[in-house]
Amino acid sequence: MEKIGVLGVEFNSLTTAQAVSAALSKDVAADNSAFIVTPNPEIVWLARSDPELKAAIAAAALVLPDGIGIIYGARILGTPLRGRVTGIGFAEECFEQLAAQGKSVFLLGAKPGVAETAGEKLAKRFRGLKIAGIHDGYFTDDDTVIGEINAANADFLLVCLGAPKQELWIYRNRAKLKVPLAACLGGALDVWAGTVKRAPRALQRLGLEWLYRLIKEPKRIGRMMSLPKFLFAVIGVRLRGKNG
Ligand code: UDP
């Protein structure tokens, strides 16, 4: 599979449909602890100074470019990616296929009650999809939660603890988790539950979802300051001719 490096993170260059068929392929499922990550520029920036986060991303079966900044970054580096694959878009296409096969998901993350609502809405929207289990994202005892996940025997685990917590959580616990496939999906449960709205489609198409989120949650400004740093670093790399 073609990979494209952006500041030390190797992204798979795939369309959403290709990413879904790769994720649901036998090759990925054969590796019992396979997981998928969707880093945005903020996470790529963090990974530069956090070796464990970098290792967690490198251990993922698929690294999908969520966030328009990654697409621009790859373009500036002269190695464009095939396209943006949003975590939510990717997961929804997976649900369609899993639902058709009567398969099940485990929803982990978000505030108490949110995953329940998300699960009810997903089960209605994707007829046939089974909700094998649910747990909120505010727990202290990993082993109890891992025990619940393993007992639920789900086909697909969604880990929605926010980045980089979710990537580190799955990386540290992957040997204990018995699920064929997992994906780190940030605030996706809030979107499916309806507690957080996604940007209007026109803004999504323009790649301005981040601006919508910033307007809705101005406290994200601190986190978002890594975006200009990321872009300056990318431009610096291009000018020096070395991607690292
Ligand atoms: N969250 C969680 N446990 C935590 C911290 C956060 O379950 O200890 C949840 C939070 O409730 C929200 C999601 O993780 O549902 C983070 O959403 P956000 O949009 O901030 O994540 P991002 O996609 O930016 O990483």
Q: Has residue 244 got a pLDDT over 70?
A: no
- Helix 16-23 to helix 87-100 angle (10° resolution) is 50
**Alpha-carbon span 23 to 32, nearest angstrom:** 13
- For residues 167-203, one letter each, b for 16 or more C-beta atoms within 10 angstroms of the residue's C-beta and e for the rest, the string is bbbbbebbeebebbbbbbbbbbbbbbbeebebbeeeb
Residue closest by Cα to atom 4 of ligand 1: 161
Does the Cβ of 187 fall within 6 Å of ligand 1? yes
Coil vs helix vs strand at 109:
strand
The residue whose CA is least distant from atom 1 of ligand 1 is 161
- pTM confidence score: 0.93
- Domain limits of the chain? 3-237
Cβ of 164 closer than 6 Å to ligand 1, yes or no, is no
pLDDT at 197 over 90: no
**pLDDT band, very low/low/confident/very high, at 204 (cuts 50, 70, 90):** confident
Position 30 pLDDT exceeds 70: no
The closest-lying atom of ligand 1 relative to the alpha carbon of residue 108 is: 7
Whether the CB-CB separation of 190 and 114 falls below 8 Å is answered with yes
- What was the pLDDT predicted at 224? 82
Nearest residue CA, atom 15 of ligand 1? 110
Tell me: the pLDDT tens digits for 57-114?
Answer: 999 999 999 988 999 999 999 999 999 999 999 999 999 999 999 999 999 999 999 9
Give the residue-averaged pLDDT of 163-167: 97
What are the tens digits of pLDDT across the range 217-230?
898 888 888 889 99
The two three-digit tokens of residue 232, written as one number: 């300056």
241: how many CB neighbours lie within 10 A of its CB?
8
With the C-alpha atoms ordered 12, 69, 160, 102, is the resulting torsion angle positive or negative? negative
Burial label for 64, CB within 10 Å (0-12, 13-18, 19+), is buried
State the pLDDT confidence band at 207, using cuts at 50, 70 and 90: confident
Contact 9, 63 (CB under 8 A): yes
